Structure 1
Amino acid sequence: MHSTARPPMHDQFIITRVPRPMPEGFVTTQHFGWRCGVSPSLPVTEVRRGEIAVGWILGWVILEDGRFAHETGSFEISEPAPGDPDGVEETLYALAGRWACFLVVAGGLRVYVDPSASLGVVFSEEESVIASTTSIVNWGRDDSFGEGRYSRRVLKKNQFFPSGATSDPAIGRVLPDHRLDTSTWAVDRHWPAAPLARFTKQSEVDAATTEIATSTSAVMAALTSHTTTILPLTSGRDSRIIMSAVRDRLANCEFVTFEYHDFRKADTAYARAVVGRYGLRHRLLTIPTPDDDDRRTYLEAIGYDANEGKARDFYLAAGELPSDRGWVTGYVGEVGRGYFWRETDSDAIPATDDLLERMRLDHTPENTQAVEQWLETAVFADVPQMLDLLYQEQRQGAWASTQLYGAAPFVFSIIPLNTRRNIENMLRLPIAYVKSGQMPRDIARVGWPDLAELPYDRQPGWQGRLEYAAFILRRDGGRLFRRITRTKSR
């Protein structure tokens, strides 16, 4: 018999016109006729335009002076301008953090999410409700409802619901670069307004990578000034970028490595070498095997909008760490690494089936229609830029960001690379430069040159080279097998 206990829904929220069931302990406030219920861990900040209150922000906005916006009592946005009807593009989107913004407009609210939608927002027109997850929208249903969701779960490892869909057909998601208007309950794209021209000069590339490094260092300085911050230490690229940003803040940092026993075991050997070289405070985390209760808890926390695989590391393993720390994670950097690119790409937009394959999604009519609808509104300069935007809005916004709600509770959980300017810089990098794989090393070199030169995705030395070669063979062989299988099934 499994437990019927509900997860505490750390950092989650619900916004509605009328009283609704919500998790025990949520704090309720009133804003312009809307009832806002939030987890006690989630900050609320008033938004003002001059002397007038015009809305509120949930989450963590990092100001230029390193403070969080909620520590100042309010946040100031600009007057409306052409292309920016709510005055947020030059104010809110100039800053880092994890947030969602709710502005009062004629007939309702306009809802903006941070550049990665890392504080996820879902909504139901039928219920007239905005919330963090589908589980919060459905809060108060009996145990059989939750048991039904668990038994009907369909997503496999690394899968998600694309293009604003969710596990509940009556509930939608606000993707990165999109906003919700509750006067019509319609979602539309607000960025980019025009295709982003690629850099053509090396000086522009150098300025972009330096800006990303400087921005990440400023974010990490702000976070580590608030509390000791935990950084995952892996042999990967985003981990290296973030670590290079704290060279002068190591006293305020702790590092952890998940002890995987698959191809990622190279992280353990790499971490031992780096810890020994630089004297880091480090902890190796054993990866437990989740039982049914663990899986239910995790899936409930993320609204059943991803697979339960991350329950092993994000939830159970990280749950062994002190909760009075901050937590950062290394997403977003893939935007500048051509994650969805393939050698066979041309100037033609890949077929929808091909895009689903790259996203590791099933070839269903629903997924096909969702991707085709996304393509209708996407704004891009070339096919590689389209693929990077697809990664950021779909893989990041609908898969990675969703799972932050299932992670172990910390003082904050923030993606340091998650800024509009960083993403724009990555989208504008020259195609040849992206293919070279040089971006992470160039960014890391700004803050920590010695660290930048260590190998990626493997432990140092000859053994690491052999294990990495075997991993590439398994990975590419798997892609080829899936492609052949899909072709034969047609």
Structure 2
Amino acid sequence: MGILLGFPIDLNGRRMIRGAWQAPVRAEADLDAFSQGMLRSLGGRFLWIQTAGGEHRIYPDCSAQVTCVYDPAAGMAGSTAHALLDEGEYDHRFDRASFDRLGIDGEGWFPAGLTAHHGIHRLLPSHCLDLNTWQVRRFWPESRLRVVLDPSAAVDEIIDIIRRQLEAVIAGPKRLALALTAGRETRMLLACARPYLNDVDFITVSGGDRHEIDTVMARRIARDMGLNHVGLPRAVATDAQRQEFIRRGGHCNADSNSRYHPSIWPIGQSHILIGGVGGEVARAFFWRNGDTENSPVSPQVMAHRFGLPVTAPLLEAIGRWQEGLPAMDTREMLDLAYLEHRDGAWYAAQFCCDPTLLRIAPLLTVRVVELMMQLPPSWKLTDRLGHAIIEKLWPELERYPYNSLGRWKDMMVKMQRVIADPRIVLKKLRKVRS
């Protein structure tokens, strides 16, 4: 039927797929339906390259975590512009103006299918690329998603899907490393990992300023709960290492990960890192006070929600994305925007930047994303999912504050961040204006 490229997890079998694999869905005449059913049965990060029936299509996982960019004029697809272009062409087609205007050499990124190179586009989550026509179309969701009637059942299902992936990694050749920070999603994953504590190493990048809150809180939790905790001292990349990180990703990201990515090299060959990326979909990250089901959100407003400067190419790309949406309410659209433009075009776009450590996000599976998007608005606005999972599995974890060491200490950390990168203030102001 085709090829799975990357690191897929068989959710039914609770194993990482190596070699041939038989999908637990029937290959009906509708190959699109077959591919969608197959994607639902998988976790991990991968591309599905379908070759059956004379069709040649590329389907990403639910967050496009194995990157795919394409040049329709040349009829080429690859992981990044760095893979597609030779050195001279790479530099010649580099869009320096957009790179600078969007603040990529800081905390900016390229959403909405844009890249840093003229004529090269990113395959976004929920879209497939037809290699016969070089056209892209959305395949999910086909219509608006209804709010779940029983959130507690959704919680149980999410826990089950997360644990299937944890068990798959534990059964594999490398040790499971679970990120432990002061944040919400890693705390939730810690609760899910409670039955497997002897098989997990909890990892924290330790350091000052913005890493200090994570360092102190992770040590406290690990000490109290008897966790296997590994602190990795923050390591700063050399200029050459940072430039290599940026170029490997096609100059689409150059944020703090490019500065500190050597920090995780000590576990690169021995572990697979599980992180909490994707959980923001369940907590209304792009919503604002006053948003309703029918609030108008123009491309300009959307750019402000992203915290990015408004540029003509960005507005045009966001407009095309909005035109391809099925009928859905505004808040659902904003959740989908986070999945596709933030998780897909910021987090996942860094897949090739540092090939030393495999990272898997168990919240980024089709069914978990679907359930998070279907939670009631009251749940999303109060971050109820994380609390519900922790209360159910390990309520003692709720006594530790999130992302805080106290008011004054937090203020000092924020001041240090602003001094290090004043562009953070501009980004916050854009979001407030939206």
Alignment TM-score, normalising by the size of structure 2? 0.88
Higher mean alpha-carbon deviation, 162-171 vs 415-424, is at: 162-171
Give the alignment partner of residue 70 of structure 1, picking from 11, 14, 18.
Answer: 18
2: CA distance, partners of 1:148 / 1:441: 47
Tell me the residue number matched to 1:48.
none
Tell me the residue number matched to 1:115.
62
Kindly report which structure 2 residues correspond to 1:416-431, keeping only aligned pairs within 5 A, or say none. 416-431=362-377
Q: CA deviation at 1:478?
A: 3.9
Distance 1:80 1:273, change over 3 A: same
Q: CA deviation at 1:253?
A: 1.3
2: CA distance, partners of 1:212 / 1:100: 23
CA contact 2:68–2:122 (8 Å) conserved in 1: yes
Kindly report which structure 2 residues correspond to 1:330-409, keeping only aligned pairs within 5 A, or say none. 330-346=276-292, 347-379=294-326, 381-407=328-354, 409=356
Distance 1:382 1:304, change over 3 A: same
CA contact 1:133–1:302 (8 Å) conserved in 2: yes
1: CA distance, partners of 2:295 / 2:321: 16
Matched to 2:367, the amino acid is: R
1: CA distance, partners of 2:360 / 2:184: 17
Tell me the residue number matched to 1:328.
274
Deviations 1:157-210 (A, max 9, x none): 3322121121112211111111000111011000001101113x4xx1111112
CA contact 2:214–2:403 (8 Å) conserved in 1: yes
Tell me the residue number matched to 1:304.
251
Distance 1:74 1:448, change over 3 A: same
**Helix, strand or coil at the partner of 1:305:** coil
Deviations 1:276-308 (A, max 9, x none): 112222222222333320121101221211124
Q: Please say if 1:127 is aligned against 2:74.
A: yes
Tell me the residue number matched to 1:273.
220
Alignment TM-score, normalising by the size of structure 1? 0.79
Q: Please say if 1:174 is aligned against 2:120.
A: no
Kindly report which structure 2 residues correspond to 1:190-209, keeping only aligned pairs within 5 A, or say none. 190-199=139-148, 201=149, 204-209=150-155
Tell me the residue number matched to 1:245.
192
Give the alignment partner of residue 157 of structure 2, picking from 192, 195, 211.
Answer: 211
**Helix, strand or coil at the partner of 1:220:** helix
RMSD: 2.8
Q: Report % sequence identity.
A: 27
Give the alignment partner of residue 165 of structure 1, picking from 90, 108, 114.
Answer: 114
2: CA distance, partners of 1:374 / 1:383: 14
Tell me the residue number matched to 2:135.
186
CA contact 1:161–1:305 (8 Å) conserved in 2: yes
Q: CA deviation at 1:351?
A: 2.9
Tell me the residue number matched to 1:438.
384
Tell me the residue number matched to 2:421.
none
Higher mean alpha-carbon deviation, 237-246 vs 319-328, is at: 319-328
Q: CA deviation at 1:453?
A: 4.4
Matched to 2:236, the amino acid is: T
2: CA distance, partners of 1:483 / 1:125: 34
Tell me the residue number matched to 1:79.
27
2: CA distance, partners of 1:380 / 1:280: 46
2: CA distance, partners of 1:393 / 1:342: 19
Matched to 1:270, the amino acid is: M
Tell me the residue number matched to 1:8.
none
2: CA distance, partners of 1:284 / 1:134: 35
Higher helix share: 2
Q: CA deviation at 1:128?
A: 2.0
Q: CA deviation at 1:379?
A: 2.9
**Helix, strand or coil at the partner of 1:90:** helix
Q: Please say if 1:224 is aligned against 2:170.
A: yes
Give the alignment partner of residue 284 of structure 1, picking from 225, 231, 237.
Answer: 231
**Helix, strand or coil at the partner of 1:96:** strand
2: CA distance, partners of 1:379 / 1:215: 27
Moved over 3 A (4+): 71-77, 105-108, 144-153, 465-475, 477-481, 483-487
Tell me the residue number matched to 1:12.
none
Matched to 2:388, the amino acid is: D
Higher mean alpha-carbon deviation, 359-368 vs 442-451, is at: 442-451
Q: CA deviation at 1:321?
A: 2.4
Tell me the residue number matched to 1:258.
205
Q: CA deviation at 1:77?
A: 5.0
1: CA distance, partners of 2:163 / 2:387: 15
Higher mean alpha-carbon deviation, 320-329 vs 224-233, is at: 320-329
CA contact 1:338–1:388 (8 Å) conserved in 2: yes
CA contact 1:106–1:183 (8 Å) conserved in 2: no
2: CA distance, partners of 1:242 / 1:409: 23
Matched to 1:343, the amino acid is: N
Distance 1:109 1:480, change over 3 A: closer
CA contact 1:99–1:118 (8 Å) conserved in 2: yes
Matched to 1:450, the amino acid is: E
Distance 1:95 1:254, change over 3 A: same
CA contact 1:213–1:447 (8 Å) conserved in 2: no
Higher mean alpha-carbon deviation, 387-396 vs 297-306, is at: 297-306
Matched to 2:78, the amino acid is: A
CA contact 1:231–1:328 (8 Å) conserved in 2: yes
**Helix, strand or coil at the partner of 1:56:** strand
Higher mean alpha-carbon deviation, 56-65 vs 346-355, is at: 346-355
Matched to 1:387, the amino acid is: L
2: CA distance, partners of 1:147 / 1:364: 22
Matched to 2:213, the amino acid is: A
Deviations 1:106-130 (A, max 9, x none): 6651110000111111112233222
2: CA distance, partners of 1:68 / 1:156: 35
Matched to 1:278, the amino acid is: M
CA contact 1:223–1:326 (8 Å) conserved in 2: yes
Q: What stretches of structure 2 of length at least 5 have no aligned partner? A: 419-423
CA contact 1:124–1:130 (8 Å) conserved in 2: yes
CA contact 1:231–1:327 (8 Å) conserved in 2: yes
Deviations 1:27-52 (A, max 9, x none): xxxxxxxxxxxxxxxxxxxxxxxxxx
Number of paired residues? Answer: 421
Distance 1:148 1:72, change over 3 A: closer
